[in-house]
Structure 1
Amino acid sequence: MTKSGREIVEILRAYDLTQTVWSAAQLAGCDPQTVKRYVEARDAGRSPYERERRPRAIDPFLDKIEAWVEESAGKIRADVVHRKITAMGFVGNERSTRRAVAEAKAAWKAGRRRTYRPWVPEPGLWLQVDWGKGPEVGGRKTWLFCAWLAWSRFRVVIPVWDSTVGTLASNLDTTFRAIGGVPTFVLSDNAKTITLEHVAGIPVRHPQMVELGRHYGASVESCVPFDPETKGGVEATVKIAKWDLVPTAANLHPGYASFEELAEACAEFCDKVNNRVHRETGKTPAARLAIEREALHRVPHAPFALAAGEQRLVDEGQTIRFGSVRYSTPPGHVGTYVYCRVVGEELVITADTAAGLAEIARHRTSTPGNPRIEDAHYPNHPGGRAITAPRPRPRTPAEIAFLQIGPGAERWLTDAAATGTVRIRAKMGHALELAALLGTDVIDTALDMAAEAGRFSDGDLASIADHVAALGTLGEVTRADEAHSVQPGTFGWDAYGR
């Protein structure tokens, strides 16, 4: 049995006291041979706490195993080695071979392990960007554009519908305006939007990305393929963003009902991580960004043409014309210029705001004569109707007094006029008289109930008002029509004669 460190110390102390193996063994309560073994190991300069390696049956083959591992660059399998040394006379089992091969591979890798020099970035030099798959919104896939300033650790996460060249340019413009400047280098992955191909290991840049770099005064670079030193930082940003924003079984996020909700979640995520003390720097990224802005270049006032697209004016109908087709825009952009670009089969409309370019609408491209109008862009026109129901505008003292009764009076007037009720003015005057007798609250409730039940005849309002004044409520209201009858049914006669 192997002795513990405390027991070994007691054995050595007993020997140092007695200077004899037999006496030390009696004091330590162990075999004299055990005392002799530990004392000889200490005198020979070996650690008494490490057991001496015993000879193994595979030792004569270790030189050959190390040679095979070296020749195969650590790729050879243990079962292959076992077949080879068995043919050479090895009689041990495969477990011994696997252990020896594992030791040889560990020794081979130890001398060839790649070392990483810590990267100490400078302010204003590097902005790393990358894409991550976002959550589905309404059954449609989204993308998360993630940017990371290397020195200040400031993050920007923007949700988008696609990862095309135009969207990348738009997101870079938005990022530059969010951080308040342009860095010297923009480092990204080897996506086709950045690097078209590699020739003899040299990346061929996308010409539009080269033009974008010239416009903003930055150099767009791509990382070395499969190299963690040049892409690890931004990939960590994408991973952290996906942890918090993409619904998974781990974070139990309920999902997003709309794209606007996803955009709000991204903004909240950026605000949280940028105002939290970073473990590496000991300061918040927002505080370090204020220092790094002094080293950034100024953002051009006009965005890059690829990021913006073609300019169009929003008319009074909240629409723009693109390719002789009208497309609607959300409220708040009438009289301003927006930018349009075609992405696949969709038209993307972006607006230049204080925070940068922001997508405000997206339509499927259409043909002349077939406009694309979304009802959500016109909240004051329910059902997509161009003409809405008129609002009451009282002019005479009697009309003003009647509508002052309450919202029930307005509803009664609107529904009564729509059903062609006669002598409306006389019935309005009768309602004012009842309001003076029973109170405006009672009459307002009675008018609302009369409109809901469709009762606009003479005497209906007084009957309902008496009931409301007595009971305070009418309960369930049933609208009288041809499908409703107060006569008792004949259901009770169904079983007659059976």
Structure 2
Amino acid sequence: MKVDVEIMEILAAYDLTKSLRGAAELTGCSHHTVARHVAARDAGQPIANPVNRGRVTDPFMPKLEEWMESSKGKLRADVAHTKLLGLGYTGSDRSTRRAFAQVRAAYRLGNTRVHRPWISEPGMWIQYDFGDGPMMDGKKTVLYIAWLAWSRFRVVIVMRDRTAPSVYAALDRTFRMLGGAPTYVLTDNEKTVTMSHIAGVPVRNVATVDFARHYGVTVLTCQPADPATKGGVESSVKLAKADIVPKDTNLRPEYDSFVDIETACQEFMDLVNNREHRATRRKPAAMLVEETPRLHRVPDAAHTISFGMSRRVPVNTPMVTFENAQYSVPSYLLGAKVFARSHGLGLDEQVIVVHEGRDGPVEVARHHRARPGSPAINDAHFPDHAPKIPGDYVVKARSAAELEFLAIGPGARTWLLEAAAVGTLRITHKMAEAVALAKIAGQADVDQALGTAAIHGRFAHKDLASILNAAGLRSSSHTASETQSLTQGTRGWAAIGQLPASTVDDLQEESA
């Protein structure tokens, strides 16, 4: 088959020689070829169409078309060639593939879905979808992409998962970034939106209905397994993944933290929203300024479902359990209802606790991710708490005898703790002796003696009295003098063996 340049040379040679054979010699082809192209030009067709010659596959073309229809375009060429051989086909595999490609192209052309351009109105539609985000600490993040249909404005937010609190928090953030909420929200049939389908009718999730009512929007879903019904956001997902997720095509390095991924998402939004769009020939950010007045106002307070999972604070311990770990909250929230959710991954992962009071939702606590069995505690949440130390017992009298003993002083308290720790016998009896000694020797001396006994571990019987009798512990002696003592002395022993005084006087008178 001659190309256009060769055909032009053949016609130029014929015009020069006016001879079919002469032009054939000049161009190096058959004079029949020259004659065919000259005849085509004279008939108004400067370039002659190739001659349709019969092919070995022509008798089997109807059968190939039948197989293509039966398989709905999924038949392979090698399978078709094997089946043709069983029908007496004698052509080569190459001939079969050429004919098969022609039949498949015709089938696809006849079964192509025709799309009518969608002309959206300002402030009416927003679509959102998800894509696989970068890896962080071995876990795959999620890219949330929203696409405002009229202005083509894109919002990209990285999330740690696709749970309901994360999705609805991203939607709330999207509405506030846009400056309002549209009339319709279109997305896929996920469990957070659609629980099931009955006779082709989607059954909405109750949480989605409450969320839509709060923001005054209508949540719609596309047909199952039909991404073409939200092609705008599908294209945005491909574009975001190609630019944000590290790949060989973008030479982007791995991210070190969750904050770095959020920064990359913000840079992507600044790029695509501030450059001219191919369809509108305008910048989406400039068109958003025109579309914002058509959006309706977003409530000042977000819906509670976007705050996370609801938890009830116990009435005696300001701790909440979230994902098998415990986190402290302010003590004034005892018995109150709070909401907990996680944000970020890796070292940046945090658990945020929100309480909705009279003045609206307020963040009351923010902790780093805790492990099960190791609660995350903020000491400021326990202002009146006295730390409990094992072995540090509170000594408190529970009877009159105990109160009287402890009234001696701190030495008595120390003596009781040490004596109880070593298992001293008859402690109550020795406490009573100490009280009696305190009345005689004074509380100060007895208290000092009890402290000394506690330090040196002297808890035996009469140890306290022995310590009191030691030098320096008793301020005065109460020993009676010889003249004041009522005890019988030894003076009378001197008269033993002597005569009474009266007898001695009588004897002296007789001798005189």
Smaller-chain TM-score range? 0.5 to 0.7
| Residue matched to 1:146 | 145
Q: Deviations over 1:437-494 (max 9, x none)?
A: xxxxxxxxxxxxxxxxxxxxxxxxxxxxxxxxxxxxxxxxxxxxxxxxxxxxxxxxxx
From 373, 378, 381, give the equivalent of 2:377.
Answer: 373
Q: 1:147 to 1:374 in 2, by over 3 A?
A: farther
Equivalent position amino acid for 1:116 in 2: H
Equivalent position amino acid for 1:199 in 2: I
What is the distance in 2 between the residues matched to 1:311 and 1:64? 64
Offset, 1:204? 1.9
CA contact (8 A) 1:197 1:203 kept: yes
| Residue matched to 2:279 | 280
Q: 1:232 to 1:50 in 2, by over 3 A?
A: same
What is the distance in 2 between the residues matched to 1:84 and 1:45? 45
Q: 1:288 to 1:172 in 2, by over 3 A?
A: same
Offset, 1:292? 0.6
Q: 1:30 to 1:223 in 2, by over 3 A?
A: same
| Residue matched to 2:154 | 155
| Residue matched to 1:116 | 115
- Which has the greater radius of gyration? 2
CA contact (8 A) 2:351 2:369 kept: yes
Offset, 1:247? 2.5
| Residue matched to 1:134 | 133
What is the distance in 1 between the residues matched to 2:169 and 2:146? 13
| Residue matched to 2:184 | 185
Identify unmatched segments of 5+ residues in structure 1: 313-318, 330-336, 379-498
Aligned-partner SS, 2:268: helix
Offset, 1:110? 1.8
Q: 1:69 to 1:25 in 2, by over 3 A?
A: same
What is the distance in 2 between the residues matched to 1:269 and 1:23? 67
| Residue matched to 1:483 | none
CA contact (8 A) 2:130 2:144 kept: yes
Equivalent position amino acid for 1:131 in 2: F
* Runs of 4+ residues deviating >6 angstroms: 44-47, 323-326, 356-359
Offset, 1:179? 0.7
1:58 aligns with 2:62: no
Q: Deviations over 1:254-297 (max 9, x none)?
A: 33333233323322332232222323222222211111101101
CA contact (8 A) 1:138 1:258 kept: no
CA contact (8 A) 1:138 1:257 kept: no
From 349, 353, 378, give the equivalent of 2:353.
Answer: 349
Offset, 1:224? 1.8
Q: 1:308 to 1:147 in 2, by over 3 A?
A: same
Offset, 1:339? 5.9
Offset, 1:50? 3.6
| Residue matched to 2:297 | 298
What is the distance in 1 between the residues matched to 2:71 and 2:169? 49
CA contact (8 A) 2:41 2:48 kept: no
Aligned-partner SS, 1:172: helix
Aligned-partner SS, 1:135: strand
| Residue matched to 1:3 | 2
Identify unmatched segments of 5+ residues in structure 2: 312-316, 330-335, 344-349, 382-512
Aligned-partner SS, 1:130: strand
What is the distance in 2 between the residues matched to 1:86 and 1:142? 52
| Residue matched to 1:83 | 82
Aligned-partner SS, 1:142: strand
Per the normalisation by structure 1, the TM-score is 0.62
Offset, 1:212? 0.8
What is the distance in 1 between the residues matched to 2:236 and 2:105? 32
CA contact (8 A) 1:348 1:363 kept: no
| Residue matched to 2:226 | 227
Offset, 1:85? 3.2
Root-mean-square deviation (CA, aligned residues, Å) is 4.0
Offset, 1:98? 1.9
Equivalent position amino acid for 1:192 in 2: K
Map 1:300-449 → 2, pairs under 5 A: 300-308=299-307, 322=320, 327=327, 340-341=339-340, 348-349=352-353, 361=367, 363-364=369-370, 371-373=375-377
Aligned-partner SS, 1:292: helix
Aligned-partner SS, 1:349: strand
Equivalent position amino acid for 1:285 in 2: P
CA contact (8 A) 2:327 2:367 kept: no
What is the distance in 1 between the residues matched to 2:252 and 2:25? 68
| Residue matched to 1:243 | 242
Q: 1:210 to 1:364 in 2, by over 3 A?
A: farther
Equivalent position amino acid for 1:215 in 2: H
| Residue matched to 2:461 | none
Q: Deviations over 1:235-263 (max 9, x none)?
A: 22222222332223333333333323332
| Residue matched to 2:94 | 95
Map 1:160-171 → 2, pairs under 5 A: 160-171=159-170
Q: Deviations over 1:61-94 (max 9, x none)?
A: 2233333333433333333433343333322222
State how many pairs are aligned.
361
Q: 1:92 to 1:272 in 2, by over 3 A?
A: closer
Q: 1:199 to 1:343 in 2, by over 3 A?
A: farther
Aligned-partner SS, 1:33: helix
| Residue matched to 1:176 | 175
Map 1:65-80 → 2, pairs under 5 A: 65-80=64-79
What is the distance in 1 between the residues matched to 2:146 and 2:137? 26
Equivalent position amino acid for 2:267 in 1: E
Offset, 1:114? 1.6
What is the distance in 1 between the residues matched to 2:177 and 2:189? 24
Q: 1:68 to 1:240 in 2, by over 3 A?
A: closer
Offset, 1:195? 1.6
Offset, 1:152? 1.3
Map 1:256-267 → 2, pairs under 5 A: 256-267=255-266
